[in-house]
C-alpha cells in the first residue's frame, strides 16, 4: 500500500532557529499533501494544504511566514518552522495524496521540541 | 461546514469485552467517514472508511462501523478487545467539494484492562 515517510521523527532545536520537516510519498506521486499539528491530548489541526508546483493554502490563523511549506516535487513536501519558539513545540504530521475514496495516508509524525 | 463529534474522550473496557466508540457527524452533503487509530508518538493508521457503498464497513483488526444516516452516526465497534487495541481513535469526515480535507474529531482514548 501507499507509504508516506516523514523525517525526522524527533527534533530538538533552540529558540530562534529554523527546523525543516520532510514528508515523502515513497511509492506514489502526490500532487497534494496536508500538514497537521497535534497538541498534547488533542485532535489534529489542519495547518495547510501543500500543492505541487504552487503555493500552499493555509488555514485560517496559521502564519504562513512562520510555517513555510514547499512542495517542489510530486514526492516531497517540506514544512519549515522558522524562528522557532517554545510554543511551536508540538507533534506535526503530514498526509500525502489519497482522496475520500481510497483514504489518506499519514506519515509517522515529527515531535518538535523548542528549548 | 462538516464536523464530527466523538462522545467520550476516554473509554475503558476489559480485555475480551465489546468495544464501542461513538462518532456523530454533521454535514449538509453526503459525507465520507473514516476511523483512524494512533499509537503514542506515531502517525495515523486507517482502520476503515465509509464512501457511500455498504453501510456496514469492515476494517482491519476486526473493527467495523455502521453508517446510520437517520442518526448521523458512524460508531466504531469490535466484538472482543485486545490489549493491543489500547490507543487513541479518531473519527474524521470529508465531503465533496471540501478539497479532500479531513476534519477530525477530538479523539477517544481507549484503555483495555485485564
pLDDT tens for B63-94 read 999 999 999 999 999 999 999 999 999 999 98
d(CA A6, nearest CA chain B) in Å: 9
- Which backbone phi and psi does B85 adopt, to 5 degrees? -80, -10
Q: If you write DSSP's letter for every residue of B23-85 in order, what string do you get?
A: -EEE-SS-EEEEEEEE-TT--EEEEEEE-SS-SEEE-GGG-EEEEETTTTEEEEEESS--GGG
Q: Do B32 and A93 touch (CB under 8 A)?
A: no
d(CA B27, nearest CA chain A) in Å: 15
- Which backbone phi and psi does A56 adopt, to 5 degrees? -75, 155
Residues of B with Cβ-Cβ distance to A1 under 8 angstroms: none
Q: Which residue, among B29, B55, B62, B49, has the nearest Cα to B91 in the 3D structure? A: B49
Q: Worst-scoring range by mean pLDDT, A27-31, A110-114, B67-71? A: A27-31
Q: Do A49 and B99 touch (CB under 8 A)?
A: yes
Could you tell me if A35 lies within 8 Å of chain B, comparing CB atoms? Answer: no
| B38 vs A39: which has the higher pLDDT | B38
Residues of A with Cβ-Cβ distance to B36 under 8 angstroms: 106
The pLDDT value given to residue B36: 95
Chain A interface disruption, residue of B59, B101, B103, most A CBs within 10 A: B101
Q: Do B34 and A32 touch (CB under 8 A)?
A: no
The pLDDT value given to residue B68: 95
Q: Please compute, for residue B100, the number of CA atoms within 13 A of its CA located in the half-sphere on the CB side.
A: 22
- Which backbone phi and psi does A17 adopt, to 5 degrees? -90, 170
As a whole number of angstroms, the distance between CA B66 and CA B12 comes to 21
From residue A52, give the alpha-carbon distance in Å to each of A72, A111, B54, B57.
Answer: 6, 25, 34, 33
pLDDT-derived band of residue B52, with 50, 70 and 90 as boundaries? Answer: confident
Only one residue has cell 514526492, namely: A75
As a whole number of angstroms, the distance between CA A104 and CA A21 comes to 19
Chain B residue with Cα closest to A37: B43
For B6-17, the pLDDT digits (tens) are 999 999 999 999
For A40-73, the pLDDT digits (tens) are 777 889 999 988 888 999 999 999 999 999 998 8
Q: Do A46 and B101 touch (CB under 8 A)?
A: yes
Only one residue has cell 527534533, namely: A11
The pLDDT value given to residue A22: 97
Amino acid at each position: 500500500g501507499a507509504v508516506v515517510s516523514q523525517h525526522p521523527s524527533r527534533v530538538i532545536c533552540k529558540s530562534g532557529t529554523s527546523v525543516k520537516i520532510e514528508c515523502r510519498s515513497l511509492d506514489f506521486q502526490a500532487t497534494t499533501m496536508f500538514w497537521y499539528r497535534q497538541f498534547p491530548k488533542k485532535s489534529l489541526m489542519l495547518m495547510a494544504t501543500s500543492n505541487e508546483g504552487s503555493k500552499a493554502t493555509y488555514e485560517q490563523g496559521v502564519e504562513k511566514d512562520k510555517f513555510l511549506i514547499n512542495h517542489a516535487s510530486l514526492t516531497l513536501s517540506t514544512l519549515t518552522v522558522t524562528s522557532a519558539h517554545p510554543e511551536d513545540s508540538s507533534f506535526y504530521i503530514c498526509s500525502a495524496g489519497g482522496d475520500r475514496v481510497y483514504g489518506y495516508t499519514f506519515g509517522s509524525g515529527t515531535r518538535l521540541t523548542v528549548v | 461546514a462538516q464536523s464530527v463529534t466523538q462522545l467520550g474522550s476516554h473509554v475503558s473496557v476489559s480485555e475480551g469485552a465489546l468495544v464501542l466508540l461513538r462518532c456523530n457527524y454533521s454535514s449538509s452533503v453526503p459525507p465520507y467517514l473514516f476511523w483512524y487509530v494512533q499509537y503514542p508518538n506515531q502517525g495515523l493508521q486507517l482502520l476503515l472508511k465509509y464512501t457511500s457503498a455498504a453501510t456496514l464497513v469492515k476494517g482491519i483488526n476486526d473493527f467495523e462501523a455502521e453508517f446510520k444516516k437517520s442518526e448521523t452516526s458512524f460508531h466504531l465497534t469490535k466484538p472482543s478487545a485486545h490489549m493491543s487495541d489500547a490507543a487513541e481513535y479518531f473519527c474524521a469526515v470529508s465531503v465533496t467539494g471540501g478539497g479532500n480535507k479531513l476534519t477530525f474529531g477530538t479523539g477517544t482514548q481507549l484503555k483495555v484492562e485485564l
